[in-house]
Chains A and B, each alone.
Chain A
């Protein structure tokens, strides 16, 4: 039991030394009262041994390829989203149209056709102009 306690307290002292070594909060009282110079020397030794891994990074100056690749992925994702939205909306409109035609009868189809042809010039002309001028008003 005593030996077990000794190992535990020894481990706690070393943990405290590690916290101090890495500039984290540590128990100053414990550090002052229980010195472990051997372990501190080993920590410094480890630090020195690991310095060998400090030089290994080849430089890369341009990351535009990655940015372009991300652009392509984003564009594809946007197209997929827009396509899905288009098909969902088209399906919904056609279903609604079918439902109304079935419930109201052929008068709905005739009325809808007349309405569509009537508003066509008023919607197509401004749209065409906007498409040709790119949305700029040249007077």
Chain B
């Protein structure tokens, strides 16, 4: 293939000029969306792995449907026949899991494992038998294991589309009930909702999505479209509704990327490509998710660390000034008060300087620092909080006054405003009218200083 035709081929794909590609891509996109939506509820119900057991359990059904159909003289690879077999075996799998789990005979996860592996093993063995008997026509069946979009027909895509649409509609209608059952099934039952019926409804959605997804994604990997988009969506939001939408969107996107890749590389199993795309989206969500992503958390932690260091520096300066009754103090004194290295103290006061809270003089040796007007206000607020908290700990938590400084040091930065007000009201006796409450311990003899907070 020359470069020009290859580029053309890619463009064809991208704009879905080929009718069959268009059908396949659309089908997988809808499948991904439906998997994301229904997977979110299963994930929140903590039952998502049952999807894996169902999908593995379908394989013997597919093989038996093929064997029986060929035995009776029909075309064994007819999709409706195979999917019907898959459905039967999948439902049988669920029933066996329920039976094993009843009365806690076998724990739920063990039941899942037993059914998943036994059914799948049976399926693989049956496929082997089918291969021996009808080696020519059985080739298509293997694509069920890892998925093969290339073998999808228009009718298959329409089936996927219909099931996905139906799943979406049901989830929209029962959104509120599904959410309640996932969050608090006991309360739902108390309010007269039939938890069993809702669970069955949810389960039948899972089974439908898994069955129609078998061809495109394969028995082994179809669980990915249930779990991965839902798990990824949690990094982006704290609302169930948005989580469902985002999971649907991510599932659709992963399906689109996977189906396109599969059209470009038709020999690779399409299930693997879809899963790789979803996995990539998961990594992106884990890293950059706006609510619980790693980057977001790192930024939050960094911000808090900087704030704590700033408050420590402000308080150290103000207390130095209180003790010496001078207008400025040396950075060494600040460092000593905090138990910091001089270098750390230098960095902290320079940061205050940049904010306009302090003025650093004589940079280099003998650096001194003095508070600006706004810096003093800020520092007084910090010291006030610290001392109120110290008094509170002594009075209510019975801390020893020698140890109270350390305890207050660690907790004060996390105090919300309302608690602060409460403390102030309770301890108003401690504060003087002019502003700062007095320190409950002598400021001069601080024991050791705290562990430095970098």
Q: Do A and B associate with each other?
A: no
- Which residues of B are at the interface with A, using a C-beta cutoff of 8 A? none
